[in-house]
């Protein structure tokens, strides 16, 4: 029993040390690859781009679409989590309450899919990146590792794929369409959205102005 306890203690200390080292490293170094990329049978197309070279409309679009409280929460939107729990308890379509910070932690350090174990690791890495990276770096990493299409990662590769231009030149409607597709990039059309998806993209485009007006991107 004593050996088991010592083994578990060393494992915990080792994990904490390794996770801290990785988070500190990726505060300064571009994330080279993620588990999601490695497991993608469609290959990997990506092009790391600094946040200063990504049009501000893209930043505002993902805040409008994914996480309106990004600049004010500590990595966890407790109200959204509570609503998701209540909605899921009633049955029907499963609803998530993840923030951009949580999605970034998952995308960089973990794997896709649910489960309480992964959620626990996600919470730990979310806490770390909020404390060590800060909001601007979190947004920069998110926009570079998020899946934006089949075998396509990051908004620069997505902008080139869908619009034949750099992410620095995206228009508000183009940014909004990319943001609308982010939850299901393999299934949602960016270039020629129809029906609900087209309306959703238009709604996000309209909200970009509200994000700017209300300073919801002031931390970036």
Each of the 220 residues of the chain gets a pLDDT tens digit; together they read 888 999 999 999 999 999 999 999 999 999 999 999 999 999 999 999 999 999 999 999 999 999 999 999 999 998 877 776 776 666 655 445 799 999 999 999 998 877 889 999 999 999 999 999 999 999 999 999 999 999 999 999 999 999 999 999 999 999 999 999 999 999 999 998 999 999 999 999 999 999 999 999 999 9
| pLDDT value of position 94 | 46
CA–CA separation, 134 and 29 (whole Å): 15
**The predicted structure's pLDDT at residue 34:** 97
With residues binned 3-state (H G I as helix, E B as strand, rest as coil), the percentages for the chain, rounded to 5, are: 60, 5, 35
As beta bridge partners, residue 45 has 152
Is residue 164 within 8 Å of residue 188, measured between CB atoms?
Answer: no
Residue 190 token pair: 């960016």
92: alpha, beta or left, given left = phi > 0 and alpha = psi -120 to 50?
left
Output the pLDDT for position 90. Answer: 64
Q: What are phi and psi of 148, to 5 degrees?
A: -115, 5
Specify the pLDDT at position 37: 96
> Could you tell me whether strands 45-46 and 152-153 are parallel, antiparallel, or unpaired per DSSP bridges?
parallel
* Per-residue confidence (pLDDT) for residue 79, from 0 to 100: 86
pTM score, whole prediction = 0.92
Residue 9 CA to residue 132 CA, distance in Å, equals 24
Q: What pLDDT does 92 receive? A: 53
């Amino acid at each position: 029993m004593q050996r088991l306890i010592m083994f578990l203690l060393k494992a915990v200390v080792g994990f904490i040390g390794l996770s801290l080292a990785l988070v500190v490293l990726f505060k300064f170094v571009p994330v080279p690859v993620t588990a999601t990329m490695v497991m993608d049978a469609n290959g990997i197309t990506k092009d790391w781009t600094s946040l200063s070279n990504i049009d501000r409309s893209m930043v505002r679009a993902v805040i409008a679409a994914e996480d309106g409280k990004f600049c004010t929460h500590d990595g966890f939107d407790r109200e959204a989590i509570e609503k998701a729990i209540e909605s899921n308890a009633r049955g029907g379509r499963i609803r998530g309450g993840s923030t951009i910070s949580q999605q970034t932690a998952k995308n960089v350090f973990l794997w896709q899919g649910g489960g309480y174990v992964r959620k626990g690791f996600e919470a730990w890495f979310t806490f770390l990146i909020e404390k060590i990276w800060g909001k601007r770096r979190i947004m920069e990493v998110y926009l570079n590792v998020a899946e934006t299409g089949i075998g396509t990662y990051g908004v620069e590769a997505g902008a080139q794929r869908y619009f034949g231009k750099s992410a620095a030149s995206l228009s508000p409607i183009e940014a909004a369409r990319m943001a609308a597709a982010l939850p299901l990039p393999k299934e949602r059309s960016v270039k020629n959205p129809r029906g609900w998806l087209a309306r959703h993209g238009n709604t996000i485009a309209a909200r970009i102005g509200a994000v700017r007006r209300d300073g919801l991107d002031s931390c970036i």
